[in-house]
Amino acid sequence: MKILVVQDYLRSGGTERQSLLLAHAFAAADHATTLLTFRPGGALSTTVPPAIARITLQPFDCGLDWFAPGLLRAAHTHAFDVILCMGRMANCYAGGLQNRLAATAVVGTMRTGKRLPALFRRSLRSVRHIVANSHDARTTLIAQHGVPAEKISVVHNSLVFPAAPLGDATPPSRLTLRAQHGATPATTVLLNVAMFRPEKNQRELIEIVAGLPATTDWQLWLAGDGPARPACEALVARLSLSARVRFLGFHRDPSPLYAAADLAVHASWSEALSNFLIEAQAHGLPGVAYAAQGIGECWLPDRTGWTIPRDDRTAFRQALDSLIAEPTSLRATRATDARAYARTTFDPRRQVAAYLDLFARLRWPHS
């Protein structure tokens, strides 16, 4: 098959990482695969493998995520069998592509808990099929947008970063990395990996941990960059938490951070399935997060992860207090369960096969 993956921009987010993983896997399975972006550049632009053909629509970066000059012309010229639209901006164009390219299977995706733009909602009616990355997202498509159930497939996100095989010893870099940030072996390191955007809500995470008992030995590591970071840094300074909260910046591969941390924490309200939380589970980190679309599918509820009602800071802190106080043996059991669940449920081979099987059915519906 000739497959086109459409993504507005290769910023450092989870959807962009999924786009790259899928495009690479499709190409590795001997499908002629092209990655089309609206904007040039981006934090992940240098990670595109040579096996993937590239199309960039903007001749220079206009800074406009929605601007896609020549998109229909490019799609028509190359006569793709399948077009997979990833992210909100790409999905806004999905319906128009399907209406103009009747022979092509245009596949939309539902990967967000944010309000959908009008063009996105219109595309839901026109595309050949929709992939939801959680069962919650599928329910939203049916209940809120009237999409027929038979037009939706659920394919969870794939694990992007490899984790050490089950049973491997603690990597020696764990203690070294912790020591670099002033964490002792007894310190409980809380980790959040996400772009600094308002909807990722790192601000509330900081306010939550500020209420933990003063005698508790903890640190909060915030990995990522983005426009909301300066305000979060100012908040940490105002709360006199600089000795406890670390801003680690963007990490192309956060695997060493997962290996060095103890718990994953997330307060975002816009998820459809958190890449960060499934990666954390795969590395053995129990998690605590506010309820959002798909969060409950990231873990084994109340066993390897705890979903907290949104804005219930007291319950969030109580969950953290309980996990911080757990004995080492129980933490080890949770870590084993989390790894096993995540590496089975979110195995990239399984997810890629589901996409390719779907594409084959859509391309050759009578085969």
Each residue's pLDDT tens digit, 253-275: 899 999 999 999 999 988 889 99
**Tokens 């004995």 — which residue?**
327
Range of 11-20, 154-163, 235-244 with top mean pLDDT: 235-244
Q: From CA 249, how far away is CA 220, in angstroms rounded?
A: 13
- Return the percentage of the chain with pLDDT > 70, whole number: 96
User: Residue 175's pLDDT band (boundaries 50, 70, 90)?
Assistant: confident
pLDDT of residue 272: 80
**What's the half-sphere exposure (Cβ side, CA atoms, 13 Å) at 309?**
3
CA-based nearest residue to 220, from 251, 191, 186: 191
pLDDT of residue 167: 47
Which tokens hold the place of 187?
């310190």
pLDDT of residue 269: 85
pLDDT of residue 164: 55
User: Residue 63's pLDDT band (boundaries 50, 70, 90)?
Assistant: very high
Percent helix, strand and coil across the chain, each to the nearest 5: 40, 15, 40
pLDDT of residue 116: 94
Q: State the fold for domain 173-345.
A: Rossmann fold (3.40.50)
- Asked whether the predicted pLDDT for residue 366 surpasses 90, the reply is no
Each residue's pLDDT tens digit, 88-106: 999 999 999 999 999 999 9
pLDDT of residue 367: 45
Distant-in-sequence, close-in-space partners of 13: CB < 8 Å, separation ≥ 6: 195
265: which DSSP letter?
Answer: E
Other Cβ atoms less than 10 A from the Cβ of 227: the count is 10
Each residue's pLDDT tens digit, 75-87: 999 999 999 999 9
Identify the residue with better confidence: 93 or 166.
93
Q: From CA 301, how far away is CA 71, in angstroms rounded?
A: 42
User: Residue 361's pLDDT band (boundaries 50, 70, 90)?
Assistant: very high
Strands laid side by side in the 218-223 sheet: 245-249, 218-223, 188-193, 263-266, 287-290, 305-308
- For the residues 181-206, what does the mean pLDDT come to? 95
**Tokens 């507005």 — which residue?**
8
Q: Where in the chain is the domain with CATH 3.40.50.2000?
A: 2-158+347-363, 173-345
Q: From CA 275, how far away is CA 13, in angstroms rounded?
A: 9
Q: From CA 319, how far away is CA 63, in angstroms rounded?
A: 41
Average pLDDT value for the chain: 94
pLDDT of residue 173: 81
CATH of domain 2-158+347-363: 3.40.50.2000
Angle separating helix axes 275-282 and 328-345, nearest 10 degrees: 120
